[in-house]
Amino acid sequence: LTMSHGSPFHFRPDDGGYVGDCIPFYWAGVYHVFYLKRGFGGTPWAHIASRDLVNWAELPTALPIGEAGEHDGGDCWTGSVIEHEGTFHIFYTGHNEALDRKQVIMHATSHDLISWEKDPANPVLVIDNALYEGQDFRDPFVFWNDDEGCFWMTISARETGAPVPAAGCVGLATSTDLMNWDLQPPLWAPRKIWCPECSDVFPATGRWFMLYSTHVTAIATAP
């Protein structure tokens, strides 16, 4: 990596774009930060990397915006990165206001974390109105759940049949291979909020923790 942007703790794109919704991923001694780049129309995934969290290298765009008729033809919104058996996977939100399904779950892969190929099977997951209602179906966070013996994907969604102002829930999908996904009932449906965004689920100290945002960061726990 050729590092630049040496101002401590701060990074600004050379072209003046805005940095939003950072998606961090650490691999082989390098801190990768994918982020939603705003300021030029639609939103692609940009990519920077650092060995010390101070000096940063701008890398090629990871996920460019799709064509007008594609599911990510408006924006590539937030998601997550995971490695499995030598392949890196991005799961992200495809957004296109021109389509009936305005938010769907998309997939891309890479062997070097730099060059990414979008899955020809995209979208890999779409909303099921028997479980989830409305347009919110986004922010996929994917991790291996050792207790369940499969991959879990949490999703920002709204529960069908719940009171609309408080229908926000964390949706769930499961997979054994990261390619084929089965949509499940909500993992967490408090019926208190509009939509819990950008969830992050992990075990620690013998319990499960879930972080999410409602424009402020909140936390939920489970045994």
Note the pLDDT of residue 26: 97
Note the pLDDT of residue 6: 46
Residues whose CB falls within 8 Å of the CB of residue 120, separated by 6 or more in sequence, listed in order: none
Note the pLDDT of residue 16: 75
Residues whose CB falls within 8 Å of the CB of residue 98, separated by 6 or more in sequence, listed in order: 68, 69, 73, 74
Looking at the DSSP assignment, which residues form a beta bridge with residue 160?
A: none
For 101, other C-beta atoms within 10 Å of its C-beta total: 13
Residues whose CB falls within 8 Å of the CB of residue 200, separated by 6 or more in sequence, listed in order: 141, 210, 211, 212
Note the pLDDT of residue 11: 81
> pLDDT below 50 — which residues of the chain?
5-6, 8
Note the pLDDT of residue 39: 76
pTM for the structure as a whole: 0.92
Q: What are phi and psi of 129, to 5 degrees?
A: -70, -10
pLDDT 10s digits, 87-118:
999 999 999 999 999 999 999 999 999 999 99
